[in-house]
Amino acid sequence: MATTASLSPLFLNSSLFPPSTHKLHSSSWSDYRSRTKPICVCVSITKAEVGVRKEDIVIVGAGIAGLATAVSLHRLGVGSLVLEQADSLRTGGTSLTLFKNGWRVLDAIGVGSELRTQFLEIQGMSIKSEDGRELRSFKFKDEDESQEVRAVERRILLETLANQLPPESVHFSSKLANIETTADGETILELTNGTRLHAKIIIGCDGIRSPVAKWMGFSDPKYVGHCAYRGLGYYPDGQPFEPKVNYIYGRGLRAGYVPVSPTRVYWFICVNNPSPGPKITDSVLLKKHAKDLVRNWPAEILNIIDLTPDDTIIRTPLVDRWLWPVVSPPASTGRVVLVGDAWHPMTPNLGQGACCALEDAVVLARKLANAMKSGNASVLDALRSYERERWPRIFPLTIRANLVGSLLQWENPVVCSVRNNVVIPKLVRLGPVLEHTNFDCEPLIQGIKV
């Protein structure tokens, strides 16, 4: 057998990718995509070198949760190794909406200011029926003066986080195959190429289908009965919309769009479906399906879809996992712990999936940074403390997001009429709905116990 294996991890090098390359330009979409592609360094590591290598903290997954956790630890003077199974950052997809709790975390880890310059602040919300009639409108500042809402391109968020890390922090092409624990409490990660890593602490940030969560005994997330089409419309000469979230409600079907930047507009369509259906990767077919769903709806949603580059359109079944007390496994097993979607996947109806993952990251990083000075017992206490702090926030939000989605996906015409003519215009108040975005988060400062 050969003594070496081509692991070929790509190491993100922040010195090679200055912040200025994140800026948005009004040139062509293809130029924009290629110009902002991160620069990486490719190396090979021998099995022998990695087999004896030990790490204090290994983070599985280089998504929002994984990178935010790594950056939070880095700010507190704690290093980590991030493993990502893909051969580069997963920069596909569209955008995500961050409310003030998400921005407080981004400020705490030192990237908020850089991101704000690239994305529009959303001023309010408009709700319409499928015939174009406005049912209600809100201004966020009228309900909560401290509120901050921006739609952020997922690609730019990931690249911004990754470039806060030291070189050689993120290893790509590193897919997890197996997890073992040793008698002394360490964990061994075996990758699909045979590489083995020894780690004192494993942080699973590997998404809704997390192998780490499965190893810990968690069930697969449950399909909630809706599928979402998403895309990112591109207006090279400038998009025409006011900075507000626009929702359109139908029967068993809803859509929405929100300006992201001067040239980009995010849109979604959510439709009832008895099963997730087959995975569709043909972007032309996805665009056709999306347009067919809202063919007779207000023209602006169709126009945005028409102006959407094919490679930004995705279709995903919506899933969640309810963390029932006693019944669900704990967030940590030994020194293995979960963060973000790996632990608590939730539907996007409250716009809190990414925000909660960011919250998880800073809470866990603070507890680990303090505990690592005190040894094994303190680390275990820190992981349990993390769960005790986060579970009372995560569990209710997951349920609320699910219920909101179910209510908005009503199909009965009488119920929908009551929703459109009574509930939304006369009963809904935005202030209480936004209370869950309250989250205190002080800046992460190395050497200070917080």
Inter-CA distances, 368 with 187, 330, 375, 383, 411, Å: 17, 17, 10, 8, 47
Domains of the chain, residue spans: 10-97+153-221+322-403, 114-152+223-319+411-437
**Beta strand 81-83 with 54-60: parallel, antiparallel or unpaired?**
parallel
pLDDT tens-digit map of 310-342: 888 999 999 999 999 999 999 999 999 999 999
CB 342 within 8 A of CB 206: yes
The structure's pTM equals 0.88
Q: Round to whole Å and give the CA distance between 276 and 220.
A: 14
Residue 46 has pLDDT above 50, yes or no: no
**Beta strand 134-139 with 196-204: parallel, antiparallel or unpaired?**
unpaired
**Residue of 365, 399, 397, 400 whose CA lies nearest to 382:** 365
Sorting pLDDT into bands at 50, 70 and 90, what band is 226? very high
Residue 18 has pLDDT above 60, yes or no: no
Mean pLDDT over 103-122 rounds to 97
Kindly state the DSSP code that residue 408 receives in the 8-state scheme: H
Sorting pLDDT into bands at 50, 70 and 90, what band is 193? confident
For all residues of the chain together, what is the average pLDDT? 87
Stretch among 125-129, 277-281, 292-296, 349-353 having the lowest mean pLDDT: 277-281
Fold for 114-152+223-319+411-437, please state it: D-Amino Acid Oxidase; Chain A, domain 2 (3.30.9)
Q: What is residue 389's predicted lDDT score, i.e. its pLDDT?
A: 97
Sorting pLDDT into bands at 50, 70 and 90, what band is 27? very low
Mean pLDDT over 179-197 rounds to 89
Convert 365-402 to b/e letters by CB count within 10 Å (16 or more is b).
bbbbbbbbeeeeebbeebbebbbeebbebbbebbebbb
Q: Which 3 state secondary structure label does DSSP give 343?
A: coil
CB 232 within 8 A of CB 153: yes
Mean pLDDT over 39-60 rounds to 59
Percentage of the chain lying above the pLDDT 90 cut? 78
Residue 206 has pLDDT above 50, yes or no: yes
CB 43 within 8 A of CB 8: yes
Q: Which CATH number fits domain 10-97+153-221+322-403: 3.50.50.60, 3.30.930.10, 3.20.20.70, 3.40.930.10?
A: 3.50.50.60
Q: What is residue 373's predicted lDDT score, i.e. its pLDDT?
A: 80
Sorting pLDDT into bands at 50, 70 and 90, what band is 225? very high
CB within 8 A of 401, min separation 6: which ones?
Answer: 320, 346, 347, 348, 349, 350, 352
Q: What is residue 446's predicted lDDT score, i.e. its pLDDT?
A: 66
Residue 302 has pLDDT above 70, yes or no: yes
pLDDT tens-digit map of 243-300: 999 999 999 999 999 999 999 999 999 999 999 999 998 999 999 999 999 999 999 9
Q: What is residue 5's predicted lDDT score, i.e. its pLDDT?
A: 29
Stretch among 45-59, 206-220, 395-409 having the lowest mean pLDDT: 45-59
Residue 131 has pLDDT above 80, yes or no: yes
Residue 394 has pLDDT above 70, yes or no: yes
Q: What is residue 34's predicted lDDT score, i.e. its pLDDT?
A: 41
Q: Round to whole Å and give the CA distance between 112 and 115.
A: 5
Q: Phi and psi for 86 in degrees, rounded to 5?
A: -75, 165
Q: How many CB atoms lie within 10 A of CB 142?
A: 12
Q: Round to whole Å and give the CA distance between 186 and 199.
A: 6
Q: Which 3 state secondary structure label does DSSP give 17?
A: coil
Stretch among 85-94, 109-118, 225-234, 350-359 having the lowest mean pLDDT: 85-94
Chain-centre distance for alpha carbon 15: 25
Q: What is residue 338's predicted lDDT score, i.e. its pLDDT?
A: 98
Q: Round to whole Å and give the CA distance between 189 and 202.
A: 9
Percentage of the chain lying above the pLDDT 70 cut? 87
Kindly state the DSSP code that residue 447 receives in the 8-state scheme: T
**Residue of 243, 244, 242, 287 whose CA lies nearest to 269:** 287
Q: What is residue 309's predicted lDDT score, i.e. its pLDDT?
A: 92
Radius of gyration of the chain (CA): 22
